[in-house]
């Protein structure tokens, strides 16, 4: 394979630090392997080179490719992940008696048990929040908080203030300190400690620093946009003054801010930490065609904090088709078309912003008997605890006998949580199953409950007894009734320690009610929710965008591209500029996974299509790509909404297609807008302007769309036309 001139420049980089800004599919691995081989050829000792990869599979891939390309017998450098680097440093520092020996907690449950103990020790029995603090979700949130403190290497109080983890988490800082003490007492450490402990030890002792410095001349790091502060500080320490650091990544693909990454790591921050660096772009993608390259550039263009770099398709790439559709039926049709073209479902992937958004698609696939596989098996619909419990409530309508089954009662009393310890619940449901009556006031089973717990449990028992009499209701009406009676929205939000988890659960309720409305028949609906399925290798893969980092598929469907879902926000949790940009980067990662076909799917009903769809300008991108594919120049100039970006693109690929601004989809200035006038939006359809406000030269308008609801738009950016 002949390297591009941009790739060759990276390979031959002379001295000093370097930043390699690599767009999606630009052959980072190929280039880094070539760079290492080049260094070896130049006589650099392999022991003085270290390559750091983002995860184990990337590391193994790199090692394999390096071994294949290297002359036989050539000693090769160390290729590591940050974890394995941390482990080695921990071992060395332990040997030098700078760190005490500790055992690594490898399973999630071990850490959870420790955090549970820390929580129990910092919250007293009298604490109203103690029971909810011990729930699984809350402990997971505490684990996330603890990891973040160590990733950012700052005071837990500061992390707490920034994160605002919400009600019932006021003990997090104290629990963090207590957990640290417990780890020390028991001689244990977490995965985050693998970097955190060596870093603190080294930063506190210059003599130790000298022992780990001076061993490297070259450090090459992949996916640099997602490194956190602990990783970066450790790297700076190991590199010292001698080693040249080459950071490879794409600031536009920084999607781990919630784990402490910052898009700035590839931008100004790199220079602040390491000093001057030579910049190299890798702008040619070998993954997809012009249409998607143009669309991706267009999509990320609205971010202010970004690498100003165009992604350009290589001449031999497949053509990529992009389309926008609505609803689960369109999803099934797309899969049908794919198969009719002789293609396999195993070549396709459904990407979602969060697992909840995969539920309507999973149910659609189940109804049609189309095989699929999930990147996380615990996310199958029938395995979701909330779904299991809701199916349990609905089953009581058809099988009143279940009121006598303690296991069934425990299921429905546990979800959504009543904030009562499980052993107390277990005793209560055993009695209820036996007697079918709520215990008397003085019965020890209820006497020891707090008044609000007693009220909640009694109300729930009354609901369960009522359900067998509601057989006349449709599946959706029943579900709505249950959700209202158990106060599910409020409870789920309160129970979830992380705001996004609570919001995801509430959204799941929404999704289930919508699905129930489609199915209507109760038996069919319950059967669908409970249908046990297994991952099928020949099925379409379903995964989250975070899980798709670095991967690609011939067909990519991005599901749930709705406002409030992607970008994700709610009325209580509105978007600020930084979060919107993070969501946009996530969207950019999602769309750039496709090779031959990208389908953007939004939902019907109350959900409005995401602003990202309009920003992507799919139709324009496809029109321009078609014109580029023609052997003769078009008779008419290509009409586009965003001409400047397209011009830049054409210039880079050396094409001189005539372009013209599509005025019908263009900005209309303020003086042309009045409340009450009708407009048509390229994605949201027709609507009526209700408010015109802001800077008259750059007004914001609020439009009531006939189908897509109310939206605020920056008039000059929106693809709208005025109607008579």
Ligand X SMILES: Nc1ncnc2c1ncn2[C@@H]1O[C@H](COP(=O)(O)OP(=O)(O)OP(=O)(O)O)[C@@H](O)[C@H]1O
Run of H or E including 2: none
Only segment of 20-28, 236-244, 417-425, 599-607 that touches ligand X (CB under 6 A)? 20-28
Among 19, 20, 27, 165, indicate the residue that binds ligand X (CB under 6 A). 27
Among 26, 252, 309, 670, indicate the residue that binds ligand X (CB under 6 A). 26
- From the CB of 58, what's the least distance to ligand X, in Å? 8
Among 10, 17, 20, 25, indicate the residue that binds ligand X (CB under 6 A). 25
CA angle 145, 150, 152 (to 5 degrees): 95
- From the CB of 550, what's the least distance to ligand X, in Å? 6
Q: Which residue lies nearer to ligand X by CB, 24 or 159? A: 24
- From the CB of 6, what's the least distance to ligand X, in Å? 9
Could you please report the per-residue DSSP string of 430-478? HHHHHH-SPPPTT-HHHHTS-HHHHHHHHHHHHHHHHGGG-TTS-HHHH
7 near ligand X (CB under 6 A): yes
Distances (CA, A) of 146 to 176, 233, 239, 501, 602: 6, 18, 27, 17, 36
Beta bridge pairs of residue 721: 680
Residues whose CB falls within 8 Å of the CB of residue 134, separated by 6 or more in sequence, listed in order: 116, 119, 120, 421
Rounded-to-integer distance, Cα 318 and Cα 290, Å: 9
315-354 binders of ligand X (CB under 6 A): none
CA angle 620, 305, 268 (to 5 degrees): 140
Q: Which residue lies nearer to ligand X by CB, 3 or 398? A: 3
Torsion angles phi and psi, residue 556, rounded to 5: -120, 125
Among 13, 17, 19, 28, indicate the residue that binds ligand X (CB under 6 A). 28
Q: Residue 27 corresponds to which tokens in the numbers above? A: 């052959």
- From the CB of 26, what's the least distance to ligand X, in Å? 4
Q: Which residue lies nearer to ligand X by CB, 25 or 263? A: 25
Only segment of 3-11, 152-160, 169-177, 367-375 that touches ligand X (CB under 6 A)? 3-11
- From the CB of 659, what's the least distance to ligand X, in Å? 28
Could you please report the per-residue DSSP string of 335-383? HHHHHHTT--GGGEEEEESSGGGGHHHHHHHHHHT--EEESSGGGSGGG
Of 331, 366, 337, the C-alpha closest to 349 is 331
Q: Which residue lies nearer to ligand X by CB, 135 or 250? A: 250
Rounded-to-integer distance, Cα 485 and Cα 466, Å: 11
Q: Which residue lies nearer to ligand X by CB, 27 or 687? A: 27
- From the CB of 594, what's the least distance to ligand X, in Å? 12
Q: Which residue lies nearer to ligand X by CB, 36 or 122? A: 36
Q: Where are the beta strands (DSSP E) in 120-271?
A: 188-189, 218-221, 244-249
- From the CB of 29, what's the least distance to ligand X, in Å? 3
Only segment of 28-36, 346-354, 450-458, 634-642 that touches ligand X (CB under 6 A)? 28-36
Q: Which residue lies nearer to ligand X by CB, 7 or 515? A: 7
4 near ligand X (CB under 6 A): yes
Only segment of 1-9, 272-280, 406-414, 469-477 that touches ligand X (CB under 6 A)? 1-9
Q: How far apart are the first and last CA of the chain?
A: 57
Of 203, 237, 308, 313, the C-alpha closest to 266 is 308
- From the CB of 284, what's the least distance to ligand X, in Å? 8
- From the CB of 2, what's the least distance to ligand X, in Å? 6
- From the CB of 7, what's the least distance to ligand X, in Å? 6
Rounded-to-integer distance, Cα 28 and Cα 248, Å: 8
CA angle 446, 451, 455 (to 5 degrees): 80
Displacement of CA 523 from its chain's centroid (Å) = 34
Among 29, 252, 320, 670, indicate the residue that binds ligand X (CB under 6 A). 29
Only segment of 24-32, 443-451, 556-564, 686-694 that touches ligand X (CB under 6 A)? 24-32
Q: Which residue lies nearer to ligand X by CB, 28 or 408? A: 28
Q: Residue 588 corresponds to which tokens in the numbers above? A: 């950019």
Tokens 């369109």 sit at which residue? 330
Q: Which residue lies nearer to ligand X by CB, 30 or 356? A: 30
- From the CB of 347, what's the least distance to ligand X, in Å? 15
Q: Which residue lies nearer to ligand X by CB, 316 or 342? A: 316
- From the CB of 91, what's the least distance to ligand X, in Å? 30
- From the CB of 598, what's the least distance to ligand X, in Å? 16
Q: Which residues are annotated as a binding site?
A: 22-29
Which ranges constitute the DSSP H helices of 227-289? 229-239, 268-274
Burial pattern 441-461, b for ≥16 Cβ within 10 A else e, equals: eeeebbeebeeebbebbeebb
The contact pattern for ligand X, residues 268-287, with x = CB under 6 A and - = no contact, is ------------------x-
174-233 binders of ligand X (CB under 6 A): none
Distances (CA, A) of 272 to 13, 17, 206: 21, 12, 21
358 near ligand X (CB under 6 A): no
The answer to whether 324 and 616 are in contact (CB under 8 A) is no
Among 18, 20, 24, 239, indicate the residue that binds ligand X (CB under 6 A). 24
Q: Which residue lies nearer to ligand X by CB, 28 or 611? A: 28
Tokens 């907690």 sit at which residue? 105
The contact pattern for ligand X, residues 691-720, with x = CB under 6 A and - = no contact, is ------------------------------
Q: Which residues are annotated as a binding site for ATP?
A: 22-29
Q: Which residue lies nearer to ligand X by CB, 31 or 362? A: 31
Rounded-to-integer distance, Cα 79 and Cα 59, Å: 7
Q: Which residue lies nearer to ligand X by CB, 4 or 515? A: 4
DSSP 622: H
Of 410, 370, 412, the C-alpha closest to 531 is 370
Rounded-to-integer distance, Cα 20 and Cα 7, Å: 10
Q: Residue 718 corresponds to which tokens in the numbers above? A: 């929106």
Residues whose CB falls within 8 Å of the CB of residue 256, separated by 6 or more in sequence, listed in order: 226, 228, 546
- From the CB of 286, what's the least distance to ligand X, in Å? 3
The contact pattern for ligand X, residues 532-571, with x = CB under 6 A and - = no contact, is ------------------x---------------------
289 near ligand X (CB under 6 A): no
Q: Which residue lies nearer to ligand X by CB, 24 or 491? A: 24
Among 1, 107, 126, 635, indicate the residue that binds ligand X (CB under 6 A). 1
DSSP 540: E
Please give the size of the binding site for ligand X, defined by CB under 6 A.
15
22 near ligand X (CB under 6 A): yes
C-beta atoms surrounding 370 within 10 Å: 17
- From the CB of 28, what's the least distance to ligand X, in Å? 4
The contact pattern for ligand X, residues 624-663, with x = CB under 6 A and - = no contact, is ----------------------------------------
609 near ligand X (CB under 6 A): no
Closest residue to ligand X, based on beta-carbon distance: 27
30-89 binders of ligand X (CB under 6 A): 30
Query: For binding to ligand X (CB under 6 A), which residues are involved?
Result: 1-4, 7, 22, 24-30, 286, 550
């Amino acid at each position: 394979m002949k390297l591009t001139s941009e790739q060759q420049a990276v390979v031959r980089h002379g001295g000093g630090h370097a930043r390699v800004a690599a767009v999606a599919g630009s052959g980072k691995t190929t280039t880094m392997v070539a760079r290492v081989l080049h260094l070896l050829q130049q006589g650099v000792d392999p022991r003085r080179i270290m390559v750091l990869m983002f995860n184990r599979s990337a590391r193994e891939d790199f090692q394999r490719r390096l071994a294949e390309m290297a002359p036989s017998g050539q000693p090769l450098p160390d290729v590591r992940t940050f974890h394995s680097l941390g482990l080695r440093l921990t071992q060395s520092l332990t040997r030098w008696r700078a760190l005490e020996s500790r055992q690594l907690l490898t399973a999630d449950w071990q850490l959870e048990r420790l955090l549970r103990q820390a929580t129990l020790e910092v919250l007293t029995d009298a604490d109203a929040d103690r029971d909810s603090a011990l729930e699984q979700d809350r402990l997971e949130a505490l684990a996330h908080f603890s990891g973040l403190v160590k990733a950012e290497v700052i005071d837990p109080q500061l992390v707490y203030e920034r994160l605002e983890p919400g009600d019932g988490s006021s003990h997090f800082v104290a629990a963090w300190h207590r957990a640290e003490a417990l780890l020390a007492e028991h001689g244990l450490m977490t995965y985050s400690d693998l970097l955190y402990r060596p870093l603190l030890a080294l930063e506190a002792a210059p003599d130790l620093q000298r022992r780990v410095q001076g061993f490297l001349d070259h450090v090459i790091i992949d996916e640099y946009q997602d490194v956190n502060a602990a990783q970066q500080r450790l790297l700076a320490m190991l590199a010292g003054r001698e080693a040249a650091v080459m950071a490879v990544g794409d600031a536009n693909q920084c999607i781990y801010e919630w784990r402490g990454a910052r898009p700035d790591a590839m931008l100004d921050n790199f220079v602040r930490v390491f000093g001057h660096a030579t910049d190299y772009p890798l702008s040619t993608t070998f993954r997809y065609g012009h249409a998607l390259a143009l669309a991706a550039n267009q999509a990320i263009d609205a971010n202010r904090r970004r690498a100003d770099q165009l992604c350009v398709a290589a001449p031999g790439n497949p053509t990529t088709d992009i389309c926008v559709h609505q609803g689960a039926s369109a999803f099934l049709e797309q899969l049908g078309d794919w198969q009719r073209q002789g293609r396999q479902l195993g070549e396709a992937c459904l990407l979602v912003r969060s697992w909840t958004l995969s539920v309507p698609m999973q149910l659609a696939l189940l109804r049609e008997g189309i095989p699929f596989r999930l990147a996380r098996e615990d996310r199958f619909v029938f395995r979701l605890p909330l779904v299991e419990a809701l199916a349990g409530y609905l089953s009581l309508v058809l099988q009143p006998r279940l009121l006598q089954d303690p296991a069934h009662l425990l299921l429905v009393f546990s979800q959504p949580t009543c904030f009562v310890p499980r052993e107390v619940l277990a005793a209560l449901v055993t009695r209820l199953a036996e007697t079918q009556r709520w215990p008397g006031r003085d019965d020890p089973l209820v006497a020891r409950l707090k008044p609000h717990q007693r009220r909640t449990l009694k109300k729930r028992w009354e609901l369960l007894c009522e359900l067998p009499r509601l057989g006349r209701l449709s599946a959706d009406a029943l579900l709505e009734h249950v959700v209202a009676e158990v106060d599910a929205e409020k409870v789920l939000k309160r129970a979830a320690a992380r705001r996004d988890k609570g919001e995801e659960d509430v959204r799941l309720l929404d999704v289930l009610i919508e699905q129930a409305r489609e199915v209507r028949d109760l038996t069919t609906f319950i059967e669908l929710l409970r249908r046990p399925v297994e991952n099928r290798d020949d099925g379409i893969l379903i995964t989250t965008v975070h899980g798709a980092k670095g991967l690609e598929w011939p067909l990519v469907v991005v599901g749930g591209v709705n406002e409030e879902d992607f970008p994700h926000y709610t009325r209580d949790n509105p978007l600020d500029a930084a979060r919107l940009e993070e969501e946009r980067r996530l969207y950019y990662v999602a769309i750039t996974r496709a090779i031959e076909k990208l389908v953007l799917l939004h939902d019907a009903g109350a959900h409005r299509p995401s602003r990202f769809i309009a920003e992507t300008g799919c139709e324009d991108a496809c029109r321009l790509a078609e014109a580029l594919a023609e052997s003769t120049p078009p008779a008419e100039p290509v009409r586009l909404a965003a001409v400047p970006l397209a011009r830049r693109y054409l210039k880079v690929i050396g094409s001189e297609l005539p372009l013209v601004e599509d005025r019908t989809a263009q900005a209309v200035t303020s003086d042309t807008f009045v409340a009450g006038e009708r407009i048509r939006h390229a994605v949201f359809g027709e609507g009526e302007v209700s408010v015109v406000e802001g800077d008259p030269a750059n007004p914001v308008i609020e439009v009531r769309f006939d189908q897509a609801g109310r939206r605020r738009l920056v008039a000059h950016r929106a693809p709208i036309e005025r109607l008579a």
